[in-house]
Structure 1
Amino acid sequence: MSETPAAHGQYVQSLARGLSVIRAFDADHVSMTLSEVSRRTGLTRATARRFLLTLVELGYMRTDGRNFELTALVLALGYSYLSGQTLPQLAQPLLEDLSRKISESTSASILDGQEIVYVARIHTRRLMRVGIAVGTRFPAYATSMGRVLLAGLPEPALEQYLAEVHLEPLTERTVTDTAVLREEIRRIREAGWAVVDQELEAGLRSVAVPVRGPGGEVIAAINTSMQASLGAGGSTLEEAVAGVLPHLQQASATITAALEARS
Structure 2
Amino acid sequence: MGGLAKGLLAIETFRADTPRQSISEVAAASGLDRATARRCLLTLAHLGYATYDGKYFTLTPRVLRLGTACLATMPMPSIIQPMLDDLSERIGESSSASILDGSEIVYVARAAQRKIMSISLMAGSRLPAHCTSMGRAMLAQLKDHDLTALIGEGPFEPRTKNTITTLEGLQAEFAKIREQGYALNDQETEIGLRSIAVPVYNSRKVVIAAINIGVSAFHYENAEVVAKFFPQLVEIQNELCGLIH
1:125 Cα offset (Å): 1.1
CA separation in 2, counterparts of 1:100 and 1:256? 22
- Check if 1:195 corresponds to 2:184: yes
Q: Which residue of 2 aligns with 1:253?
A: 238
TM-score by length of 1: 0.63
After TM superposition, the runs of 4+ consecutive aligned structure 1 residues lying more than 4 A away are none
Query: Which residue of 216, 222, 228 maps to 2:217?
Result: 228
Q: Which residue of 1 aligns with 2:223?
A: 238
Q: Which residue of 1 aligns with 2:111?
A: 122
Aligned residue-pair number:
172
Q: Which has the larger radius of gyration?
A: 1
1:123 Cα offset (Å): 0.3
CA separation in 2, counterparts of 1:132 and 1:254? 25
The unaligned stretches of length 5 or more in structure 1 are 1-84
Please give the per-residue CA displacement for 1:106-151, whole angstroms capped at 9, x wherever unaligned: 0000000000000000000111111000000000011000000101
CA separation in 1, counterparts of 2:167 and 2:237? 29
Q: Which residue of 2 aligns with 1:35?
A: none
1:103 Cα offset (Å): 1.1
- Partner of 1:91, secondary structure, is helix
1:156 Cα offset (Å): 2.0
- Check if 1:88 corresponds to 2:77: yes
Q: Which residue of 1 aligns with 2:57?
A: none
Query: Which residue of 80, 88, 106 maps to 1:99?
Result: 88
Q: Does structure 1 retain, via aligned residues, the 8 Å contact 2:199–2:207?
A: yes
Q: How does 1:1-263 map to 2 (within 5 A)?
A: 86-231=75-220, 236-259=221-244, 263=245
Tell me the C-alpha RMSD between the 2 structures: 1.4
1:97 Cα offset (Å): 1.1
Q: Does structure 2 retain, via aligned residues, the 8 Å contact 1:114–1:165?
A: no
CA separation in 1, counterparts of 2:216 and 2:236? 21
CA separation in 1, counterparts of 2:88 and 2:213? 8
TM-score by length of 2: 0.67
Please give the per-residue CA displacement for 1:15-70, whole angstroms capped at 9, x wherever unaligned: xxxxxxxxxxxxxxxxxxxxxxxxxxxxxxxxxxxxxxxxxxxxxxxxxxxxxxxx
Please give the per-residue CA displacement for 1:80-99, whole angstroms capped at 9, x wherever unaligned: xxxxx810001000001111
Report the more deviating stretch, 247-256 or 161-170: 161-170
1:166 Cα offset (Å): 4.5
1:162 Cα offset (Å): 4.9
CA separation in 1, counterparts of 2:174 and 2:151? 11
CA separation in 2, counterparts of 1:167 and 1:230? 29
- Partner of 2:241, secondary structure, is helix
1:165 Cα offset (Å): 4.6
Please give the per-residue CA displacement for 1:150-189, whole angstroms capped at 9, x wherever unaligned: 0122332013235345511111111112211111011112
- Partner of 1:90, secondary structure, is helix
Sequence identity percentage: 44
